């Protein structure tokens, strides 16, 4: 029971910051296409368009810097899951293999959003 409450609370906090990040991205010219896209491989927090790119955005939040930089949580294992989910998204939605894509990380520490464009490659 307690772990279920903690998990639910983490999702609630995560959703709050994903929403804040979506608003931030829109304010700098991104067009949000999907939120919380899921596949059997994993989940992508936000999928957007910006300057001709299809952008897959992973949002990571930390209350403060004591637990490290939020972007550090997007390790090789997490990147692989995002890449596999992105490939599924592209196939499912009939995108051309030539479409320019990018993987960004939005690292939120406190109330500050740091967008890392092209944080990792396919």
- Measured CA to CA, the distance from residue 27 to residue 63 in angstroms comes to 23
Q: In this predicted structure, what is the pLDDT of residue 6?
A: 47
- DSSP letter at 103 equals E
- Measured CA to CA, the distance from residue 101 to residue 121 in angstroms comes to 9
Ranges of each domain in the chain: 2-120
pLDDT tens per residue across all 122 residues of the chain: 554 544 455 555 568 889 999 999 999 999 999 999 999 999 999 999 999 999 999 999 987 766 778 898 899 999 999 999 999 999 999 999 899 999 999 999 988 999 999 999 98
- Measured CA to CA, the distance from residue 41 to residue 88 in angstroms comes to 8
Residues 69 and 116: beta-carbon distance below 8 Å:
no
DSSP string, 11-80: HHHHHHHHHHHHHHHHHTT-EEEEEEEE-SS-EEEEEEEETTEEEEEEEEEESSGGG--GGGGS-HHHHH
Q: In this predicted structure, what is the pLDDT of residue 15?
A: 80
Topology at the third CATH level for domain 2-120: Trna Endonuclease; Chain: A, domain 1 (3.40.1350)
């Amino acid at each position: 029971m307690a772990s279920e409450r903690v998990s639910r609370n983490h999702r609630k906090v995560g959703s709050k910051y994903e929403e804040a990040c979506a608003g931030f991205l829109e304010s700098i010219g991104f067009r949000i296409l999907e939120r919380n896209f899921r596949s059997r491989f994993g989940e992508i927090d936000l999928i957007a368009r910006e300057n001709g790119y299809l952008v897959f955005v992973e949002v990571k939040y930390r209350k403060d810097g004591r637990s490290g930089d939020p972007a550090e949580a997007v390790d090789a294992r997490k990147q692989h899951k995002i890449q596999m989910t992105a490939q599924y998204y592209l196939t499912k939605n009939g995108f051309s293999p030539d479409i320019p894509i990018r993987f960004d990380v939005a690292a939120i520490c406190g109330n500050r959003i740091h967008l890392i464009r092209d944080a990792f490659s396919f």
